Amino acid sequence: MATVTRKGQITLPKVVRRALGLRAGSQVTFKVEEERVILEKVPPVDAIRRWRGYLKTEGGRSTDDLLIELRGGLAEDHR
């Protein structure tokens, strides 16, 4: 349970912070549904940017070509 201060602030219980992985600086959103509020963690932008381009290949080659090369062959030999 949490108490609302005069400024409209609350302290999230430790069990909630741990369950959502919230730390200082974490962002959350609130959704109001009838008389309930749903709190959701917003994934950090860096987590999304870290994976950007992960599946891109070097020099415009296909993933299949890279795998064939890594396995010791030439892509042209397998077509």
Segment 20-34, tens digit of pLDDT = 999 998 999 999 999
How many domains would you assign to the chain?
1
- B/e letters for 36-53, b = 16+ CB within 10 Å, e = fewer, are eeeeeeeeeeeeeeeeee
pLDDT of residue 22: 93
* 68 belongs to a structural domain: no
3 part of a folded domain: yes
Percent of the chain with pLDDT over 70: 76
Q: What pLDDT is attached to residue 30?
A: 95
pLDDT, the chain, mean: 82
Expressed as residue numbers, the domain containing 27 is 1-45
Q: Check whether 69 has a pLDDT greater than 70.
A: yes
- Residue 60 domain-assigned? no
* pTM (2 d.p.): 0.52
Residue 65 lies in a domain: no
CATH (domain of 38): 2.10.260.10
In a domain, 9, yes or no: yes
Mean pLDDT of 23-52: 85
Tell me if 15 is assigned to some domain: yes
Query: Torsion angle of alpha carbons 61, 65, 66, 70, nearest 10°?
Result: -150
